[in-house]
Amino acid sequence: MVKIKEIIKKAVFKVLEYSLNSASKEQGLKALKIELAEIIPDLSQQYTSFKIEGSYIVNKLRSLHAFQVELAQEAISLLDRDKRSAPTLVDIGDSSGAHLHYLNTLSGGGNIRAISVNLDPVAVKKIRDKGFEAIESRAELLHEHPDFNGSADIFLSYEMVEHLLDPTSFLHAMSTKSKCDYFVVTVPYLHRSRIGLHQVRHLDKQQDRVFNAETTHIFELSPDDWDLIFRFSGWKIVKSIRYTQYPKNILNPLSVLRYLWRKLDFDGFYGVILKKDDSISKRYQDW
């Protein structure tokens, strides 16, 4: 029985890999995905709390990285010419320095000032060991940190805001207490909003297990609900895009895997390029 379950599990992962590959090709990410793999061949140390291993997980992460990096490149292209040639990027919630390494290499190397932010000292050390600047801080308190001057050309936040206790206050603080041209944010893409907290939801199965910010999603919202929060907290959406882990074209037979992805994981990831706009946030009287 155990052997049969293992065979089925491997078969499911193989099908999901086909889905990822087809989706990457359809959404124009295949070439960048290959290029990023050449820049960082080993993703095993991407996170502190768990190790990335296995063909399916690596493929899934490479597809995600390609989506994230492409969105950051587009934000850089929107900068004024003088800033575009040597931008300052601050990656809030960076776990390994991977994205800053990608972007610096793709730009020709050396012309991007890259700063990472993470509350985990292990992640901060990992990033500093790669030669990048890093600040040990909670995202919500970054604007108060003595080592942070409050400015960047572009802030980046990849799969971070869903981990925050209070994402709205964080986004409002970044809008009102920092300087930037653009803010690139990506989050899990869910068809319907929900509260995460899966460790609590399944507490009966893991009663003694501790969990931390890196492994805990609190708010898992749909793109429409995230858009409301972005606008409410002081931002306008310059661009938004939904990357799916299955082909979007309904003529592709693999598109039916959307239902399997929703059951096992997420539809994909939702990304935005934000620009400051307080036309809505200033109407709220109780910040």
Q: Which spans in 130-166 are helix H?
A: none
- State pLDDT tens for residues 84-115: 889 999 999 999 999 999 999 998 866 889 99
- d(CA 233, CA 170) in angstroms, rounded, equals 9
By C-alpha distance, which of 188, 220, 257 is closest to 21? 257
DSSP state, residue 213: G
Dihedral sign of CA atoms 160, 66, 54, 41 in order: negative
The angle subtended at Cα 109 by Cα 106 and Cα 113, nearest 5°, is 105
Reading the block at residue 118, the tokens are: 């993470």
Give the angle subtended at the CA of 188 by the CAs of 120 and 271, to the nearest 5°. 100
What is the helix, strand, coil percentage profile of the chain, to 5? 45, 20, 35
What is the average pLDDT across 126-130?
91
* Strand-pair category, 182-189 with 154-158: parallel
Domain total in the chain: 1
In sign, the C-alpha dihedral spanning 50, 223, 185, 25 is positive
CATH number for 264: 3.40.50.150
Per residue in 18-41, pLDDT tens? 999 999 999 999 999 999 999 999
Sheet holding 182-189, edge to edge: 133-136, 113-118, 88-92, 154-158, 182-189, 268-276, 235-244
State pTM to two decimals: 0.94
Which domain does 184 fall in, by range?
2-283
Tens of pLDDT, residue by residue over 159-216, are 999 999 999 999 999 999 999 999 999 999 999 999 998 888 877 666 677 888 888 9
What pLDDT digit, counting tens, does each position of 249-287 carry? 999 999 999 999 999 999 999 999 999 999 999 999 999
